[in-house]
Amino acid sequence: MSWHFKSILSRILWLHVLALAVAALATPLATYFLLDATTNEFENRTLKAHAGEIADYLQLDPNSRWQLNLPADLRTFYLHSFDGFAYSIVDRSNGVLFSSLRGKAQSLTRGNSPDSPTYFQQSRGKAIYYGASFPYSRNGHTLFIQVAQNLEHPDVITDDIVAGYLLRVAWFTIPIMLLLLLSDILIFRRALRPLTHASDMARAIDPGRIDLRLPVGGVPTEVLPLVVAVNQALDRLEKGFRAQREFTADAAHELRTPLAVLRTRVETLPDQGAVVALRADLASMTHVVNQLMEVAELEASVVDLKEAVDLRDVCADVVSTLAPIAIAQKKDIALTGSDTAVLVKGNGPMLHQAVRNLAENALRHTPAGTTVEIHVANEGAVRVLDEGPGVAPNERELIFRRFWRRDRSRSHGAGLGLAIVARIVEAHAGKIDVVNRPTGGAVFSLTLPRFQRAN
């Protein structure tokens, strides 16, 4: 199973959690084995020292019999009252010569090696003895000095520490590891802050802000080549966008003069029937050229969202401008909604253009004898309602694309009006959508961010 992480931070953190888990398990285990080895080494040295001390008091009498003359303090020491130590001295046949064990004389162990010390651990009742058997030779006689310590004795604390380490001390590693993980999260976030800032900058780049570039200051060296490459790509895109905008603006500007000359020559034609038809075609062409100029201007414009615009005044001005056109087409245009100022953020002329394009589109598609309504809502929205054929669901996104037309054979426009509206709304951080009315017709809704006066 392979895990795929969507962010560098989550990838680093999960890998670090895995490393911490391994460290949290390995550290107490390693410490436990180290303590256990150190304890065994210490106990073995202690047993060897005790055996050596006992050997100092072993003697052979003239009859080759062993004698053990421990001083009083050592005899007391081995009576189980101090440190739980015990000893026994046995011969090669494991016969007990001397023993500190109570009751019948007995050896601590039967496993004796004549060549090297033998270590053992045995249980005797409630006592658990850990000891060693050391060979001892004198004058050709060999015996074994067995020394052991009762691990259950209250004074024996070293083995208790080792045995209880994992259950007691090791649990301190859990909060320590959690604290380390929290510190790592803060460190990683701080280290990745330049990348987060670069991501925020990249998110703000759009066709209206192609001059923005990703910051390179503080970016890690591993990511710096990628950031530089992205900035270089943005440079190329900006150059292409500017060339496209300049071409659109220049083409539209250059077309205006030939259209004006053509309009003048058409008016001098003797055939008035042809003049009327050509005059309509020239008006359509002029409208397309004007829209191309508007597109070029929009692409080069940056909206200051700190400005306040009265949306009701904008809509009232659109209604007064289009009223003569509506009347000439035997249609009505009405302003409804809020009676007070509705302040939104943005640019007044651009919003006027957006609302006018929506209203002109509604007038174009609504039949004679009907009404186009422009409704201004207090929440900062404009709804343009018509009584036309409506918009099919599969066309509600297409109609906002440039140069898109439902029926190119019957349409005289260039398909730029609604695309201009969508671009203006986008520049104002707003939203536009369209639905059909239950009674027939379409409703175009334009929602803009409200302007809040500073206290």
pLDDT value at 28 more than 90: no
- pLDDT tier at 298, thresholds 50, 70, 90: low
Instruction: Tell me the domain boundaries of the chain.
Output: 8-172, 224-295, 303-447
Q: How many CA atoms lie within 13 A of 55 on its CB side?
A: 18
In whole angstroms, how far apart are CA 35 and each of 23, 28, 177? Answer: 18, 10, 22
Residue among 58, 63, 85 nearest 145 (CA): 58
DSSP symbols for 401-412: STT--S-TTT--
DSSP symbols for 210-233: TT-----TT--TTTHHHHHHHHHH
- pLDDT tier at 409, thresholds 50, 70, 90: very low
Check residue 373 and give its pLDDT. Answer: 92
Residue among 300, 327, 315, 297 nearest 357 (CA): 315
Q: What sign for the dihedral angle of Cα 268, 270, 275, 276?
A: positive
Structure token digits, residue 179? 């604290």
Task: Please give the helix or strand (H or E) that residue 262 lies within, else none.
Answer: helix 224-267
Element counts in the chain: helices (H) and strands (E): 11, 14
In whole angstroms, how far apart are CA 437 and each of 236, 378, 391, 392? Answer: 45, 21, 10, 12
Q: Which residues contact 448 (CB under 8 A, 6 or more apart)?
A: 311, 344, 345, 346, 351, 380, 381, 382, 425, 428, 430
CA dist., res. 17 & res. 23, Å (int):
10
Residue the block writes with tokens 């966008």: 241
In whole angstroms, how far apart are CA 84 and each of 107, 148, 231, 369? Answer: 16, 8, 79, 115
Averaged pLDDT for residues 29-53 = 80
Residue among 383, 394, 386 nearest 441 (CA): 386
Q: What are 67-77's pLDDT values in tens digits?
A: 888 888 888 88
- pLDDT tier at 353, thresholds 50, 70, 90: confident
**CATH, domain 8-172, list 1.20.1630, 1.10.3470, 2.60.40, 3.30.450:** 3.30.450
Check residue 106 and give its pLDDT. Answer: 75
Q: Which CATH class is domain 224-295?
A: mainly alpha
pLDDT value at 421 more than 60: yes
**Contact call for residues 241 and 299 (beta carbons, < 8 A):** yes
Q: What are 225-279's pLDDT values in tens digits?
A: 878 888 888 888 777 777 666 666 656 656 666 766 677 767 777 777 777 777 7
SS3 293: helix
Fold of 303-447: Heat Shock Protein 90 (3.30.565)
Check residue 385 and give its pLDDT. Answer: 92
- pLDDT tier at 2, thresholds 50, 70, 90: very low
Residue the block writes with tokens 């009315």: 437
**Which has more confidence, 388 or 32?**
388
β-strands 66-68, 141-150 pairing? unpaired
DSSP symbols for 245-259: HHHHHHHHHHHHHHH
SS3 281: helix
Q: What are 98-126's pLDDT values in tens digits?
A: 888 776 567 878 877 888 888 888 887 77
Amino acid 351 reads L
Comparing 6-15, 126-135, 144-153, the range with the smallest average pLDDT is 6-15
Three-point CA angle 45, 81, 36, nearest 5°: 35
Averaged pLDDT for residues 373-400 = 87
